[in-house]
A and B are shown apart, each in its own frame.
Chain A
Amino acid sequence: MYSEKVLDHFKNPRNVGELEDADAEGTVGNPVCGDMMTMYIKVKDDRIEDVKFKTFGCGAAIATSSMTTELAKGKTLDEALKISRQDVADALDGLPLVKMHCSNLAADALHEAINSYKEKSTKK
Chain B
Amino acid sequence: MSIRVYMDHGAGRPVDPRVLDAMKPYFTERFGNPASFHSEGFKALEALKEARSSVAELINADPSEIVFTSGATESNNLALLGGALRNRKKGSKVVRSAVEHISVINICKELSRMGFEVAECPVDEAGVLDLMELEKHVDDDTVLVTVMAANGEIGTLQPIREAAELAHSHGALFHTDATAAAGQVPLDVKKLGVDLMTLSSNDVYGPKGVGALYVKKGVRVKPHMIGGGQENGIRSGTENVPGIVGMGEAARLAKQEMEAESKRLTALRDRLIEGVLAAIPESYLNGHPTERLPNNANIRFSYIEGEALMLSLDDLGIQLSTGSACAAKTLEPSHTLLACGLKHEEAHGSLVFTLGKNNNRNQVEYVIQELPGVVERLRAMSPLTPEELR
A:58-114 near B, CB below 8 Å: 58-62, 98, 102-103
CB pair B383–A36 under 8 Å, yes or no, is yes
CB pair A35–B303 under 8 Å, yes or no, is no
CB pair B344–A56 under 8 Å, yes or no, is no
Cα-based distance from A107 to B323 in the complex (angstroms): 27
CB pair B382–A35 under 8 Å, yes or no, is no
CB pair B303–A57 under 8 Å, yes or no, is no
Given A34-B326, A34-B344, A56 and B307 contact (CB-CB distance below 8 Å): no
Which secondary structure dominates chain A's binding surface?
mixed
B:277-323 near A, CB below 8 Å: 303-305, 307-308, 311-312, 315
CB pair B326–A56 under 8 Å, yes or no, is no
Number of B residues contacting the other chain (C-beta, 8 Å)? 26
B267 at the interface (CB under 8 A from A): no
Residue of A nearest to B324 (CB): A34
A3 to chain B, nearest CB (A): 13
Question: Hey, which chain A residues are within 8 Å of B380, CB to CB?
Answer: 16-17
Given A11-B315, A38-B383, A57 and B345 contact (CB-CB distance below 8 Å): no
Given A35-B326, A103-B326, A59 and B311 contact (CB-CB distance below 8 Å): yes
CB pair B305–A57 under 8 Å, yes or no, is yes
Question: Hey, which chain A residues are within 8 Å of B344, CB to CB?
Answer: 31-34
Cα-based distance from A37 to B381 in the complex (angstroms): 10
Given A13-B381, A34-B344, A56 and B304 contact (CB-CB distance below 8 Å): yes
A117 at the interface (CB under 8 A from B): no
CB pair B329–A98 under 8 Å, yes or no, is yes
B:328-375 near A, CB below 8 Å: 329, 331, 333, 343-345, 348
Cα-based distance from A122 to B305 in the complex (angstroms): 38
A:1-36 near B, CB below 8 Å: 2, 7, 10-11, 13, 16-17, 27, 31-36
Cα-based distance from A61 to B388 in the complex (angstroms): 19
A54 at the interface (CB under 8 A from B): yes
A residues contacting B by CB (< 8 A) are 2, 7, 10-11, 13, 16-17, 27, 31-38, 54-62, 98, 102-103
18 extra interchain contacts, Cβ-Cβ under 8 A, other than A35-B305, A58-B307? Answer: A17-B380, A17-B381, A31-B344, A31-B388, A31-B389, A34-B344, A35-B326, A36-B384, A54-B382, A55-B381, A56-B303, A57-B308, A58-B326, A59-B308, A60-B326, A61-B305, A61-B326, A98-B329
Can you report 7 residue pairs joining A to B where beta carbons are below 8 Å apart? Answer: A2-B311, A16-B381, A34-B324, A55-B383, A56-B304, A57-B326, A61-B326
